[in-house]
């Protein structure tokens, strides 16, 4: 039986009406939370209708399928047209300029991300074209997405991220699920629950805990130094070795486990998993509901399952071997202690604990590794800076590396100036965290941003903005030291570790690791580019994959004794 003329007119009309009604009814909801349920329900209804109308005497499945497809088509067309009209002309963000495609769909920014993985450059161009506030459609919405705005104005930093902000974590943090009982600390959007859970983490980074980590960090630096001595005369890919160093530290300090990557010189399989994970994240982070959906499809996350299973395995081993009577000696043990003590800060479920264990590795290793590799790049490129640093280390520890001492290294503020200047130019997390404005909206200077809009300030762009930074693209560590006043550093926007309650939990550990590695390297070696390496590609072509992904960098580490011998002869 074919579709009658009446059906052919009636079905599209009622279905289209249904599409508009549906859109109106979901408008108060953060609908992407329910995307998975919606798609499942949609498929179920579709198949159910085919069965109901196709089953029975005189009925045909083909006709039922054709009718149902007409219903679905009319419903979808009406839904998408209404959404497009609303997004273009009725959205509360419509006064903010931005590319038309970004107003229509967040997949446009996913496309810009995928195009060479240099979204920060694309975003820089959008800001140049449209001004300090650009509608990017970058993440998600409560009322008909996309509602994303990128702000390149330093006044926005305290308003969005500062200690007194009323902004909350946006739907970006819903990419691994929206149930706060099942996700990591970093993905916890509920502010009350977040504050409680953060306490367990902060215990793992207390001054006392860091003092117990320090000798283990130094022992990893020793292995790195030994390996660099072994490389004498050949070039070393410092991107790889920095990752091995940072990954081993997170094994030691995170899980109390020796991952042995530095000693073996081999990438642990989990490292590949991390990089595949962040490459996917780099493109699809703009569409968190889609990432969330992908995670529910068996096999879709296969590329990074190795990393997930390593974390799961290490967590299980820790649970088996951990001595709960003793003071915790690593971050995961602090999290386990909170659970054992039934403390309010404990990860609420097994799933959330597992997700937390992944955060230990993801948040701690790539960030530190990138910074170390970039510091060494700048030292190779600026021999005068390297010499100045080495003289300071030699003055603090004249007897050489055998008497290396962290307390003395900590007093050399120039190391921190070099690390900060590196983090200004190359923040390992390139785009600022996405936050949702409170219902009442916020004011940034003279501009009112309505409520429930996702806002972010891009770290890399604002930390190189010539309005606040003199010679913004030049590497001048002294701007954080003796030239601070002259260069206006105190008034310039700098927040690579984020600010306020959601600021990086591991900042002090990062500084401990970086000060240790950088001082140990300059005390032992002179660092140069390897023959044929200019560093230009490394400097220019790093990938914007949420966490920065670096290209290999070939350096040469000449033992200082050898340099002296060459000069003397
Ligand atoms: C140079 C090194 C590092 C940089 C630049 C850095 C930067 C950041 C930034 C910008 C955030 C905020 C992310 C957001 O807004 O969602 C963050 C969060 C975090 N970082 Fe770091 N980080 C570094 C090293 C570390 C290390 C070594 C650890 C140790 C495990 C760590 C643990 C964390 C954790 C647990 C969070 C989540 C905090 C939360 O949501 O409460 N980070 N980091």
Q: What are the chain's domains? A: 5-90 (no CATH), 185-559 (1.10.630.10)
**Which atom of ligand 1 lies at the shortest distance from residue 432's CA?**
15
Choosing from 160, 311, 367, 515 the residue with most ligand 1 atoms within 8 A of its CB, the one to mutate for a pocket test is 367
Nearest-CA residue for atom 43 of ligand 1: 504
Alpha helices in 97-167 (DSSP H): 100-104, 107-114, 119-130, 156-161
CA atoms 282, 285, 289, 292: torsion sign = positive
Pocket flag, ligand 1, residue 433 (CB < 6 Å): yes
Pocket flag, ligand 1, residue 367 (CB < 6 Å): yes
- Identify whether the C-beta of residue 18 lies closer than 8 Å to the C-beta of residue 49: no
Encode pLDDT of 192-215 as tens digits. Answer: 999 999 999 999 999 999 999 999
Pocket flag, ligand 1, residue 506 (CB < 6 Å): yes
- Identify whether the C-beta of residue 304 lies closer than 8 Å to the C-beta of residue 276: yes
Gap between the Cα atoms of 269 and 313, Å rounded:
13
Choosing from 201, 363, 424, 463 the residue with most ligand 1 atoms within 8 A of its CB, the one to mutate for a pocket test is 363
Pocket flag, ligand 1, residue 361 (CB < 6 Å): no
Which among 430, 414, 502 has a CA at the least distance from the CA of 463?
430
**Which atom of ligand 1 lies at the shortest distance from residue 359's CA?**
35
**Which atom of ligand 1 lies at the shortest distance from residue 205's CA?**
29
One digit per residue, the tens of pLDDT, for the chain of length 569 reads 566 776 777 777 787 777 778 777 776 666 776 777 778 888 888 888 888 888 777 778 888 888 888 888 888 887 777 777 777 776 777 777 777 777 667 777 777 777 777 888 888 998 999 999 988 764 443 444 557 899 999 999 999 999 999 999 988 887 767 788 889 999 899 999 999 999 999 999 999 999 999 999 999 999 999 999 999 889 999 999 999 999 999 999 999 999 999 999 998 877 877 777 766 766 666 666 666 666 665 555 666 677 888 888 999 999 999 888 889 999 999 999 999 999 999 999 999 999 999 999 989 999 999 999 999 999 999 999 999 999 999 999 999 999 999 999 999 999 999 999 999 999 999 988 899 999 999 999 889 999 989 999 999 999 999 999 999 999 999 999 999 999 999 999 999 999 999 999 999 999 999 999 999 999 999 999 999 999 999 999 998 887 899 999 999 999 997 665 555 54
Pocket flag, ligand 1, residue 251 (CB < 6 Å): no
In the chain, pLDDT over 70 holds for what percent of residues?
A: 88
- Identify whether the C-beta of residue 447 lies closer than 8 Å to the C-beta of residue 511: no
Lookup result for tokens 């590196």 = 422
Nearest-CA residue for atom 31 of ligand 1: 506
**Which atom of ligand 1 lies at the shortest distance from residue 498's CA?**
10
Nearest-CA residue for atom 18 of ligand 1: 504
Burial 97-116 (b: 16+ CB within 10 A, else e): ebbeebbbbbbbbbbbbeee
- pLDDT at res. 534: 97
Gap between the Cα atoms of 434 and 457, Å rounded:
8
Encode pLDDT of 387-405 as tens digits. Answer: 999 999 999 999 999 999 9
- Identify whether the C-beta of residue 135 lies closer than 8 Å to the C-beta of residue 98: yes
- Identify whether the C-beta of residue 16 lies closer than 8 Å to the C-beta of residue 78: yes
> Hey, what are 317's tokens?
């081993």
Choosing from 165, 506, 510, 514 the residue with most ligand 1 atoms within 8 A of its CB, the one to mutate for a pocket test is 506
Residue 504 assigned ligand-binding role: yes
Encode pLDDT of 5-62 as tens digits. Answer: 767 777 777 877 777 787 777 766 667 767 777 788 888 888 888 888 887 777 788 8
**Which atom of ligand 1 lies at the shortest distance from residue 514's CA?**
1
Pocket flag, ligand 1, residue 509 (CB < 6 Å): yes
């Amino acid at each position: 039986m074919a579709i009658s003329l009446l059906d052919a007119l009636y079905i599209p009309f009622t279905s289209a009406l249904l599409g508009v009604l549906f859109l109106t009814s979901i408008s108060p909801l953060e609908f992407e939370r329910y995307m998975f349920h919606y798609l499942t329900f949609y498929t179920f209804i579709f198949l159910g209708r085919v069965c109901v109308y196709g089953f029975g005497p005189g009925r045909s499945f083909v006709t039922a399928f054709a009718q149902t497809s007409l219903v679905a088509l009319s419903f979808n067309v009406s839904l998408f047209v209404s959404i497009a009209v609303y997004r273009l002309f009725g959205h509360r963000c419509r006064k903010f300029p931005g590319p038309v495609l970004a107003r229509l769909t967040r997949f446009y920014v996913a496309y810009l991300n995928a195009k060479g993985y240099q979204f920060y450059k694309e975003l820089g161009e959008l800001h140049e074209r449209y001004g300090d506030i650009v509608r990017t459609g970058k993440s998600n919405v409560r009322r008909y997405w996309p509602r994303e705005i990128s702000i390149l104005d330093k006044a926005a930093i305290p308003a969005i991220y500062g200690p007194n902000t009323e902004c909350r974590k946006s739907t970006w943090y819903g990419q691994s699920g929206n149930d706060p009982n099942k996700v990591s600390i970093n993905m916890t959007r509920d502010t009350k629950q977040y504050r409680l859970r953060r306490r367990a983490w902060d215990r793992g980074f207390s001054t006392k805990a860091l003092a117990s980590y320090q000798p283990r960090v130094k022992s990893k630096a020793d292995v790195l130094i030994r390996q660099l001595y072994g490389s004498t005369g050949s070039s070393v890919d410092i991107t790889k070795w920095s990752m091995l160093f940072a990954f081993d530290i997170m094994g030691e300090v995170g899980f109390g486990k020796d991952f042995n990557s530095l000693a073996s010189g081999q990438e642990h399989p989990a490292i590949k998993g991390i990089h595949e994970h962040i490459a996917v994240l780099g493109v699809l982070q703009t569409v968190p509901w889609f990432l969330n959906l992908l995670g529910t499809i068996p096999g879709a996350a296969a590329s990074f399952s190795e990393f997930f299973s390593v974390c799961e395995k290490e967590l299980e081993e820790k649970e088996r071997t951990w001595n709960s009577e003793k003071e915790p000696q690593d971050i995961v043990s602090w999290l386990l202690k909170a659970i054992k003590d039934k403390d309010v800060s404990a990860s609420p479920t097994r799933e959330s604990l597992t997700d937390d264990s992944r955060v230990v590795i993801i948040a701690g290793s790539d960030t530190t590794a990138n910074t170390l590799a970039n510091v060494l790049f700048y030292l190779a490129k600026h021999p005068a800076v390297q010499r100045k640093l080495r003289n300071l280390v030699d003055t603090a520890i004249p007897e050489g590396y055998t008497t290396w001492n962290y307390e003395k290294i900590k007093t050399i503020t120039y190391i921190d100036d070099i690390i900060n200047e590196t983090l200004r130019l190359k923040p390992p997390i390139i785009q600022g965290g996405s936050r949702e404005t409170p219902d009442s909206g916020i004011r940034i200077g003279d501009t009112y941003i309505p409520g429930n809009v996702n806002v972010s300030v891009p770290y890399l762009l604002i930390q190189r903005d010539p309005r606040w930074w003199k010679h913004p693209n030049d590497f001048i560590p002294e701007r954080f030291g003796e030239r601070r006043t002259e260069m206006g550093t105190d008034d310039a926007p700098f927040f690579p570790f984020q600010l306020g309650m959601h600021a990086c939990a591991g900042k002090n550990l990062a500084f401990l690791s970086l000060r240790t590695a950088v001082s140990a390297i300059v005390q032992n070696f002179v660092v140069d580019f390897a023959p044929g390496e200019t560093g230009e590609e490394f400097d220019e072509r790093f990938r914007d994959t949420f966490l920065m992904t670096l290209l290999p960098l070939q350096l040469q580490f000449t033992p200082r004794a050898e340099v002296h011998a060459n000069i003397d002869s």
